[in-house]
């Protein structure tokens, strides 16, 4: 028999950690231990709590550490929101909307262009190399101009 009232234990603790500004690693460690104990006591609605905290990658990570994912994998996309490559890879799911995929692709393109622009100084002033790098970055992310 499942135990859905565990959400009434988990959710306030997670909210308190988040609202207090606890460091991500602390949230992940504390909530990971809580998730494990609640699962041991037959918590079967973890996905409902996970869905309530998709905006916090540390909490999503605590669930992932304990094998809890949403069926549409939105949790994985949320966990990788700050890593454009990992975010794009996590988008590979049939339930991802076209708008969500477009946003992830644009974020990755912007990330690539920023990396190209960030390495301009490594050219040591080689004008032609700088021009090529600027051209490539502008092709990838035309909205950004230095």
107 shares a domain with 44: no
Beta bridge partner(s), residue 43: 3
pLDDT digits (tens, 9 = 90+) for 14-73: 999 999 999 999 999 999 999 999 999 989 889 899 999 988 889 988 998 898 888 777
Say if 86 falls within a structural domain.
no
**How large a percentage of the chain has pLDDT more than 90?**
30
Give the Cα separation of 142 and 110 in Å (integer).
9
Say if 146 falls within a structural domain.
no
- DSSP single-letter state for residue 73: -
112 shares a domain with 66: no
Say if 94 falls within a structural domain.
no
Q: How many domains does the chain have?
A: 2
- Picking from 9-13, 62-66, 78-82, 112-116, which range would have the lowest pLDDT averaged per residue? 78-82
| Nearest C-alpha neighbor of 144 from the set 109, 99, 95 | 109
How confident is residue 143, by pLDDT bands cut at 50, 70 and 90? low
User: Which of the pair, 38 or 75, is modelled with greater confidence?
Assistant: 38
Could you tell me the residue range of the domain that residue 29 belongs to?
4-79
Residues 6 or more apart whose Cβ sits within 8 Å of residue 79:
57, 60, 61, 64, 90
11 shares a domain with 71: yes
Question: What average pLDDT score do residues 92-112 get?
Answer: 75
pTM summary value: 0.57
Give the Cα separation of 62 and 29 in Å (integer).
7
66 shares a domain with 15: yes
Say if 92 falls within a structural domain.
no
């Amino acid at each position: 028999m499942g135990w859905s009232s565990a959400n009434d234990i988990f959710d306030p603790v997670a909210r308190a950690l988040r609202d207090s500004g606890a460091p991500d690693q602390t949230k992940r460690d504390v909530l990971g231990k809580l998730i494990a104990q609640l699962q041991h006591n037959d918590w079967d609605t973890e996905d409902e709590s996970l869905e309530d905290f998709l905006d916090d990658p540390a909490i999503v990570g605590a669930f992932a550490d304990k094998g809890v994912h949403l069926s549409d994998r939105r949790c994985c996309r949320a966990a990788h929101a700050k890593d454009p490559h990992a975010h794009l890879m996590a988008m590979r799911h049939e339930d991802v909307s076209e708008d969500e995929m477009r946003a992830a692709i644009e974020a990755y393109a912007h990330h690539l262009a920023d990396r190209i622009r960030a390495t301009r100084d490594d050219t040591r002033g080689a004008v032609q190399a700088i021009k090529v790098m600027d051209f490539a970055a502008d092709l990838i992310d035309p909205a950004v101009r230095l």
